[in-house]
Amino acid sequence: MTKTAAEVRPAPSLDEPLTKHIAWILWARRNGGAHCPTCGQLCQDRPRSITNQMARALEMMYRKGGTTRWVKRTSLLRRVGQRGGDDAKLALWDLIETPTADDPSPDGKFSGWARVTEKGEQFILGDISIPRVAWVFNRELLEFEGPDILFADCWAEPIDLQEILERHHGGGATDKVT
């Protein structure tokens, strides 16, 4: 079993300055976590990266709706046997967006719907790279870290970007992707 940070490096005593406590909490969140003194919950930063499955989900959402249509991502992914909900983490990099009250989904609900953003399209087409790792605490993005990656780096096997373009644009894509 992995030790928490408090088991590796004990927290400062109560008579220590507040700055030492803050520094320890920030250190502990990245080094195994620390239990909240108020509620007892384990507080821990988590590194997240884009997996092969997440890249595939992004591609499928793009093929289905481009950047203009909402896609019921849960139904789409279930049809091809993907599960787990990691694809929702694509929003950390602003590659997808979810419905809002000002821009609702077709059924007016928020859960399960997504739309590929312009940035997501640029990532798929290889026009931009994104940071490899997103550090998350309590579902909130803290920072990005690591070298930038391209969409093609997310795949175990090489991908054909031209094929993705042709499928999305119905074979009418004229720009060659190299």
Q: Would you say residue 174 lies in a domain?
A: no
Q: Would you say residue 177 lies in a domain?
A: no
Examine the domain organization and report whether 141 and 159 are in the same domain: yes
pTM of the model: 0.71
Examine the domain organization and report whether 64 and 15 are in the same domain: no
Please tell me the predicted confidence (pLDDT) of residue 177: 36
- Encode pLDDT of 10-57 as tens digits: 777 778 888 887 777 777 777 777 776 667 777 777 888 888 888 988
Higher pLDDT, 155 or 158: 155
> Which residues are CB-neighbours of 59 under 8 A, at least 6 positions away?
124, 164
Please tell me the predicted confidence (pLDDT) of residue 174: 39
Residue 150: give the domain boundaries.
Answer: 48-168
Please tell me the predicted confidence (pLDDT) of residue 1: 59
Position 149 pLDDT exceeds 50: yes
pLDDT category of residue 6 using cuts at 50, 70 and 90: low
DSSP track, 29-90: HHTT-EE-TTT-PEE--EEEE--HHHHHHHHHHHHHHTTTS-EEHHHHHHHTT--SSGGGGG
Examine the domain organization and report whether 32 and 96 are in the same domain: no
Specify the amino acid at residue 151.
F
Which residue carries 């059924």 as its tokens? 107
CA–CA gap between residue 152 and residue 132 (Å, rounded): 12
Examine the domain organization and report whether 100 and 120 are in the same domain: yes
Question: What percent of the chain shows pLDDT beyond 90?
Answer: 25
| Phi (first) and psi of residue 153, to 5 degrees | -70, -15
Position 96 pLDDT exceeds 90: yes
Examine the domain organization and report whether 136 and 152 are in the same domain: yes
In the chain, how many domains are there?
Answer: 2
Examine the domain organization and report whether 160 and 78 are in the same domain: yes
Name the 3-class secondary structure at 28. Answer: helix
CB atoms within 10 A of CB 6: 15
Examine the domain organization and report whether 71 and 34 are in the same domain: no
